[in-house]
Chain A
Amino acid sequence: MSENSSDNAYWSANLRLILGSLIIWAIVSFGFGILLRPMLSGIAVGGSDLGFWFAQQGSILVFLGLIFFYAWRMNKLDAEFGVGEE
């Protein structure tokens, strides 16, 4: 099955999805939570700023969303490409 073109399309769709998800993963944690925090300092959230919120709460919530989104998309892709489990 290795040379099967539909497998390759499936795999590159998966890689695109992973890449997109990891970009969001990095932006909310390393970005908003740490490096870009000064940029977000103007946005007040309950006694602190948005960067603090992302570092202590927001990034975790986004991580959760990412994993469930990925699972849902991949299970759909499995069906579309007919590579899912019986």
Chain B
Amino acid sequence: MDQFVVNLLFVGASFALYIGIAIWARAGSTSEFYAAGRGVHPVTNGMATAADWMSAASFISMAGLIAFTGYDNSSFLMGWTGGYVLLALLLAPYLRKFGKYTVSEFIGDRFYSPTARMVAVICLIVASTTYVIGQMTGVGVAFGRFLEVSNTTGLLIGACVVFAYAVFGGMKGVTYTQVAQYCVLILAYTIPAIFISLQLTGNPIPALGLFGDHAASGEPLLAKLDQIITELGFAEYTAHHADTLNMVLFTLSLMIGTAGLPHVIMRFFTVPKVADARWSAGWTLVFIALLYLTAPAVGAMARMNITELMWPEGTSGQAVSVEQIESDPAYDWMATWQKTGLLGWEDKNGDGRIQYYNDASEEMQAKATEEGWEGNELTNFNRDILVLANPEIANLPSWVIGLVAAGGLAAALSTAAGLLLAISSAVSHDLIKGQFNPNISEKGELLSARVAMAVAIAVATYLGLNPPGFAAQTVALAFGLAAASIFPALMMGIFTKVNNKGAVAGMLAGLIVTLIYIFLHKGWFFIPDTNTFSDADPLLGTIKSTSFGAIGAMINFAVAFIVSKASAPIPQEIEELVESVRVPRGAGSAAADH
């Protein structure tokens, strides 16, 4: 069967499943729409949160970034999992005890200030919207590739699907849909990895195969990889080359950002008990770890396969010939991906062969002169195609390729839906009900939530159609903003007696300073060429704009403490509120009076 038909079958069947579940679980009341009636088991909730959390960035992009950089990009692995420790220990159980629906409600009540709530809502909307734009762009690229339609058509189809189940299903629809998406996503990620690990190391578990022996040479896989890529002038895969301070801050930003993202935190409102909120964070990380422990193996093994394909006789023999790329079925993936414009090669010296090496390395330049090479001839290899192209690179059966297509879409769509839900509840519940019209009927609130969601999808789709040119940075911005604004406010609300003025000043300081630092490096409102600095030569030493969220969080804490010390202490009833969120007893009733 044609690969296109196989892809269509897998993607179509998975969508039918998600939409079917969304219709089956249509939300009725407001509380069901937001928090699924608090009837979700911790394991189910963990699985849904994992699908919600793992976006196009984790599924499609991360292994590719690790493959071409190696150890230095371990920040993604530690950062995006380590945040769950903060979430489980510092936030989840207390927010569940507090027993409201949204993050900004907690901030508004705890800091007894509508201003604090408004500031929180703004932070949430900014972070979630920027994040969802990146997801919609990913949806467009993935649909375009696998349905063999243009990026624009792919994005519009994707937007309709997200609209269908997010708007009509609400949280409950999303929760069960996301369980299904998790299953598709994790199978799609691990099955090709298992095949490839067996091929390369004979070990069926990729995470163990990564540290096992390379079957063909008998040497440890990582040592072999280091050897062949350094022979081509590339940096050692396992060595530390990155700036250490920036690496630490980047990891910390991703961790704090994870614990400050509203769509992830909201999940912990949906478990029945405080004890379940603690377990739920653990289960979420179990399901995330299945992908995250596999990702570094996917990266290293793909790098190995690509290098060996380009140098079929070994790095000391002849490079692959253009004729072989065009005729050997093992190289069909190169022609397929060349069409997308994300992969390219060029026989610069006209010797009929494609030499892949690091032409920036001095040693290789000497060798190139000797051999008559005129620069690296694998001219373009977009990091984001690696995971999607991986089963084709390893020559796996066509059903595996179809499965990966469905998995990539599941990852992008599930995150988009979760973020849209967070945005819609921020608008309808916090802005409209909390601020402008407290007497709005339940029906009216539900309607406004759906309208907000539709508007958010339209905005994200529009921006996804005309990408402002910051797709990769979008995710970093969302994390930096969440880290600098939301996380410190939540943590101080639970663990300290910081007052209303302190919280507002802290959030504003963290948000504004981080935004300015990002704009200075990426351009004002991301308009190209309006930046004063670049991440290659940042304003503050070696601290890149993607790592600044951690600094923003520190500024937030410092400002909040100073302002709080200089103003009136918190009133008695807030003192009691803080005491009450610290103990689980009475959690059920707190939820019921809403």
User: Which A residues have a C-beta under 8 Å from some C-beta of B?
Assistant: 1-2, 7, 10-11, 14, 18, 21-22, 25, 29-30, 33-35, 37, 45-49, 52-53, 55-57, 59-61, 63-64, 66-68, 70-71, 74-75, 78, 82-86
Contact = CB atoms under 8 A, between A and B. Distances in A.
B274 A85 contact: yes
Interface string B544-581: 00000000000000000000000000000001100110
Contacts of B588: 85-86
B251 A34 contact: yes
A47 B219 contact: yes
A85 B74 contact: no
A66 B85 CA distance: 7
Nearest to B495: A15
Nearest to B214: A47
B585 A83 contact: yes
A60 B273 contact: no
B211 A53 contact: yes
Interface stretch (B87-95, B120-128, B423-431, B532-540): B87-95
B71 interface: yes
A74 B296 contact: no
B296 A57 contact: yes
Which 7 A/B pairs are nearest by Cβ-Cβ distance?
A47-B220, A46-B211, A47-B222, A55-B74, A71-B278, A47-B223, A2-B579
B366 interface: no
A63 to B, nearest CB: 5
Nearest to B238: A48
Contact of A71 (B74, B247, B279): B279
A25 B285 CA distance: 14
B81 interface: yes
B114 to A, nearest CB: 25
Contact of B77 (A55, A78, A84): A55
- The size bracket of the interface on B is 35 or more
Interface of B: 71, 74, 77-78, 81-82, 84-85, 88-90, 93, 207, 210-213, 219-226, 238, 240, 244, 247-248, 251-252, 273-275, 278-279, 281-282, 285-286, 289, 292-293, 296, 575-576, 579-580, 582-588
Nearest to B72: A55
Contacts of B584: 78, 83-85
Contact of B89 (A1, A47, A70): A70
Given A29-B78, A48-B211, A64-B285, A85 B238 contact: no
21 contacts: A1-B579, A10-B583, A46-B213, A46-B220, A47-B223, A52-B71, A52-B74, A55-B74, A56-B71, A57-B211, A60-B78, A60-B289, A64-B285, A66-B85, A67-B88, A67-B281, A71-B281, A74-B93, A74-B275, A75-B275, A84-B275
B74 A33 contact: yes
A30 B248 contact: yes
Contacts of B293: 57, 60-61
Given A47-B220, A64-B285, A71-B88, 20 more contacts: A1-B580, A25-B82, A29-B78, A34-B251, A46-B210, A46-B211, A48-B222, A52-B74, A55-B71, A55-B77, A56-B210, A57-B296, A60-B289, A63-B289, A71-B275, A71-B281, A71-B282, A84-B584, A85-B274, A85-B585
Nearest to A82: B585
A70 B285 CA distance: 14
B252 to A, nearest CB: 8
B332 to A, nearest CB: 31
A4 to B, nearest CB: 9
Contacts of A63: 81-82, 84-85, 285, 289
A34 to B, nearest CB: 6
Nearest to B284: A67
A68 B282 contact: yes
Contact of A59 (B81, B240, B278, B575): B81
A56 B251 contact: no
